Amino acid sequence: MKNKKMGLKKVKFWTIIPYIFLIIVGLFCIYPLIFMYVSTTHKSADILSYPPPFFFGDYFFNNLISLYERVNINIAFFNSLKIALVVTFLNLFFCSLAGYSFAKYDFKYKGFLFTMILITMMVPSFASIVPLYQMMVFAGIDNSHLAIVIPAMTGAFGIFLMRQNFLSIPSSIIESARVDGAGEWRIYFQVVLPLMVPALAALGVYVFMGQWANFLWPLIVLSDESLFTLPVMLSRIKTDTRIDYGQIMIGASYTITPIIIVFFLLQKYFISGLTSGSVKE
């Protein structure tokens, strides 16, 4: 009996260890967020003090007013939201169309074209900045939101993700709709897309988060301050003479909070959408 009890205790102990490890890792991951939100309520000098503040202070509105006096955060927030939503919608439409075509249609050079799309994922984004900027200047759309939206309205990862998920849909459903007299566009919008909600949500979260935090390309292509996105506008807070970390932390919370909200609202669809494409029909 004693040996059985000892065995049960050992089993329980070894099953608890992974959870303890995950809790510790989770605390390390969430601490920067907690520190950011706590720092929004303190002076810059208090944030740099040792030990750093662990509780909320009473300086939040002072930091907020100073931030609004320093930069036009509302216009930047609206610009980022507009660009992120437009780019997300265009990616959902074009990537789903391309993924559906590669998954359910047979056409010449299908495998070659899909391979070329995947190869573009191996090219570093920095390598395309100069030729892409020259294209925007040649088209006359530099220093505009179109210069951000057009290059980002579709992507190789989105096409790959949607194709893998479309492969999991039985072709018999599509054939049945054709027999019933449904056209290709009606099949796409009324039969296929409703089955792809988890994949579309996963891609939407991925694109929205990436575009919302996009900094380098808007910094290069935009010169008018009224067109700046949130990350670019927040980079103007830092000066050579003075750095107000209270303002920076509030600005960072402006950037991070919408991403956290979107992810938690669509977390279920995000996880299922990324894994559902692993099973074919």
* Domain extent listing, the chain: 2-61, 71-276
pLDDT of residue 98: 92
- pLDDT per residue as tens digits for the range 152-163: 898 899 999 899
Q: How far apart are CA 26 and CA 268, in angstroms?
A: 19
With 90 as the cut, is the pLDDT of residue 91 above it? yes
With 60 as the cut, is the pLDDT of residue 1 above it? no
- pLDDT per residue as tens digits for the range 233-254: 888 776 556 677 888 888 888 8
pLDDT of residue 7: 52
Residue 2 or residue 124, greater confidence: 124
Angstrom distances, CA of residue 269 to CA of 78, 80, 99, 263: 26, 24, 18, 10
What is the number of H-type helices and E-type strands within the chain? 15, 0
pLDDT of residue 198: 84
Tokens representing 78 are 């609206």
With 60 as the cut, is the pLDDT of residue 264 above it? yes
Tokens representing 68 are 């609004």
- pLDDT per residue as tens digits for the range 131-185: 899 999 998 888 899 999 999 898 899 999 899 888 888 888 888 888 888 888 8
CB atoms within 10 A of CB 132: 17
Q: Exposed, middle or buried by CB within 10 Å (0-12, 13-18, 19+), for 67?
A: buried
Angstrom distances, CA of residue 8 to CA of 15, 16, 21: 11, 12, 21
- How sure is the predictor about 13, in pLDDT bands with cuts at 50, 70 and 90? low
Extended strands (E) in 41-126: none
Angstrom distances, CA of residue 241 to CA of 49, 59, 73, 218, 244: 20, 22, 21, 25, 10
Predicted TM-score (pTM) of this structure: 0.81
- pLDDT per residue as tens digits for the range 190-213: 888 888 888 888 888 889 988 998
pLDDT of residue 281: 47
- pLDDT per residue as tens digits for the range 111-120: 899 999 889 8
* pLDDT, average across residues 95-105: 91
Of 1.10.3720.10, 2.30.110.10, 2.60.40.10, 1.10.10.10, the CATH number of 71-276 is 1.10.3720.10
Q: How far apart are CA 97 and CA 91, in angstroms?
A: 10
Cα dihedral sign for 25, 26, 29, 34?
negative
Q: Which amino acid is at 18?
A: P
Q: How many residues belong to the chain?
A: 281
Tokens 């949607």 identify what position? 162
